[in-house]
Amino acid sequence: MTLLQSPSGVQVCPPSSGASAPSPSGAPVPPAGTPAAPSGRGTPAALPSPAAMFRHAAPRVLEAMVLPAAVFYAAMVFTGLYGALAVALAWVYGGVAWRLVRRRAAPGMMLLAAGAITVRVVLAVLNKNPVFFFLPECLGIFCASMAFLLTASLRRPLIQRVAADLVPLPDHLNEHPLMRRFFFRHSVLWGCAQFLNAGLSLWLLITLDTEMYLIVRTSAVAVLLGGAALVSALGFRRCLRALPA
């Protein structure tokens, strides 16, 4: 080991090659060529598998969209309109009560559905006209279409909130440019699809009787929204595959 004489007369030992020299702050500096430790910033999180996404989304779609319509239409066949209204009320409020009994929070979508169906039933009963039960639904679909279109260019559009309920993703993936373009394009897609849904539903409601309205509208809307959902699912899958692994 070689000792060097400093100008102040103190003998110092130079650091050997490969040793860590102190930094100005006193912390050791790793030798040259040592790989930097990962900071964790910018590292993408592992994405859930398609099967896991489906298992997460399917119960919510089934509970919020499929089952209420199926229960209402089945009750309509066997009990008529007013029996179906009573069954629809019992179904929605029964779901809320079931969660309260089990000390589970009721989803916001379910609470909104309970309030909306209550207003629709009251209007239909007071006016003794089934049109007043379906008319608020048409107006609500139109408002939803406007919400999709008007929030398309926002940092967090409505469709991103809907997607987060179905397939939660880390925040840094939601902010990725690929995902931002996906949310914008599919906000426009769903805004246009729901606008067509509202217009078609209103036209059928005015021109057809209740039974034919339920049959024709259900078939037409299933094709329209099913196609939009297929396009969104394929686009979402392609977008996830293009994200950095």
Q: Poorest-confidence range of 1-15, 157-171, 213-227?
A: 1-15
55-72: pLDDT as tens digits? 666 666 676 667 777 788
Over residues 111-120, mean pLDDT: 76
CA-based angle 150:67:79, to the nearest 5? 120
Q: What is the pLDDT of residue 58?
A: 66
Pick 168 or 234 by higher pLDDT. Answer: 234
The residue among 38, 41, 39, 45 whose CA lies nearest residue 243 is: 45
Under 8 Å between Cβ of 110 and 92: yes
Question: CB-based contacts of 228: which residues, under 8 Å, 6+ apart?
Answer: 189, 190, 193
207-240: pLDDT as tens digits? 998 878 888 988 898 899 889 988 988 888 888 8
21-67: pLDDT as tens digits? 444 445 454 454 444 444 434 444 455 555 666 666 666 667 666 77
Question: CB-based contacts of 140: which residues, under 8 Å, 6+ apart?
Answer: 116
**pLDDT exceeding 70 applies to what percent of the chain?**
69
Q: What is the pLDDT of residue 196?
A: 96
Domain ranges in the chain? 53-128, 130-245
Where does residue 100 rank: exposed (0-12), middle (13-18), buried (19+ CB within 10 A)? exposed
Read off the pTM.
Answer: 0.64
